[in-house]
Amino acid sequence: MLYKKKNSKYWYTKFELTHNGVRKRFHKSTKETKKSEAEKIELALKQQAWERLINPERTQYRCSDALPIYLQSKQSNRTLAEKKTKLEWWLKKLDNCPIKAITSQTLLSILSHKQGIAVATRNRYLSEIKAFLNFCYRDLEWIDKVPNIRLIKEPPRDFYKLDGTDIKRLLHASPDYLKPVILFALFTGFRRSNILNLCWRNIDFNTGQVYISSSEHKSKSSVATPLSDDAIRLLKAIYHNNSPYVFLNSRNNPIKDIKHYMWKRIVKKAGLEGFRFHDLRHNWCHQHLNAQTPLMALKELGGWKTLEMVQRYAHPNESYLKAHVNNVHAKQVIQDEINALTVAKKSVSKTGEKSECGKKSSHLEVVTEDYVIIGEPQKLKNLLKISRLIMVPEAGLEPARPQRQRILNPSCLPIPPLRQHVHQRFVDVWHYRQEIFWRKCFYYLALSNEHFFNDFKFGKQI
């Protein structure tokens, strides 16, 4: 039984089959808007369901058996010819093998032999065979599962931002019959298919609008878009009665398509290699955005359904962003804090006082009265370890016993000398013992390592 649901344009089928006490019900969408085509799909589904019911062991269906049913269910799709071409290529490479025998390894190994294809083309081929296998799994129930097919993430494509000089070179390199097409794309941002299929009956010069039917628009909904003054002036300049189509070639025939090799030759001559026709739509949106056209208005003019699609085409330039970066101003409290920080910074720079700890670094700085040693922390640690074995004899004092020295974290070493605010008597003793200690260390290290003086830098020779 065929019927339609509310708010749906497709026909649905619902039937029931019984065999040897086994009853099965089927309820599916035919994905067809015409009843005659839906009846054909229903008949094929009944036959397949009956075969599976009387023969529990699944028949070894092949891709050639499912391809006509799949294409029949996609009659309303605009890219039907492209789907058919890709699937026929897959069937030829698969050698019409059973559908159950198709694995992801088989598909990837076949596609690896197709040389010279971009990532996007590879993904389109995999997406098509994946949709075909999903149809065999969900609608036909010929396989138990669909192979795991992963697509490669495509890098975002850049586009050319045309200026006046680039547009002149592009128009000069194009044939005469293509110049109105390029200008109309720059004025309206229409897609190539909508421009080439545009008819005079779709243009209303009184209201200044153009109408595109739902069958021709990508959003599958009718669109009425106002035209700019430049676009209307262009259409009036090329107005003719030779054909119902607006844009004609040199033989007064409708322009069916712009060949890839011809467009490639045009952009190469203009010095814009890599420029696509669709980039004209990007530039149209880019100019509107820089002119501060509201996004909601831009969405309607471009014929997009969501604002996410507008963001794909909207590429603001630096001047546009710079004009809006100061829209939000700081409050008075924040301004006072900024002024206070500025005054504090000036006072510190004048006095030159530094009370904070030194910056973290990979080198250690040791400050003494007579010299400054800068070296790597590990080498200085080794140097201090040697001091445990050194006996420092002093006049009038007992020999100093080895003391355990500890080095601090370089980030916590104070920049000013460590001896400030210490009694002068203790300072003199400390200076004397430190001088004897460093002299002994330098002597023993100089004997063991001739490159010692290259590893450290001295502020004053001893």
Question: Which pLDDT tens digit goes with each residue over 210-243?
Answer: 998 887 887 777 888 899 999 999 999 999 888 9
Nearest Cα residue to 383 out of 461, 433, 448: 448
Banded pLDDT at 413 (limits 50, 70, 90): very low
Q: Per-residue pLDDT tens for 47-82? A: 877 777 776 555 578 888 888 888 888 877 778 888
b (16+ CB within 10 A) / e for 365-386:
ebbbeebebbbeeeebeebbee
* Alpha-carbon distances of 129 from 30, 107, 110, 132, 324, rounded to whole Å: 20, 9, 12, 5, 47
147 vs 58, 64, 126, 415, CA distance in Å?
18, 18, 11, 67
Strand order of the β-sheet with 2-4 is 2-4, 11-19, 22-29
Q: Say how far apart CA 361 and CA 376 lie, in whole Å.
A: 9
What is residue 297's predicted lDDT score, i.e. its pLDDT? 87
Of the given ranges (14-18, 272-276, 377-381), which has the lowest mean pLDDT? 377-381
Once rounded to an integer, what is the mean pLDDT over residues 142-165?
81
At residue 136, φ and ψ (nearest 5 deg) are: -65, -30
Rounded to whole angstroms, how far apart are CA atoms 43 and 49?
A: 10
Question: Dihedrals φ, ψ of 265, to 5°?
Answer: -70, -35
How does pLDDT run across 443-460, given as a tens digit for each residue? 656 555 555 445 544 443
Q: What pLDDT is recorded for position 234?
A: 92
Residues 291-300: what's their mean pLDDT? 85
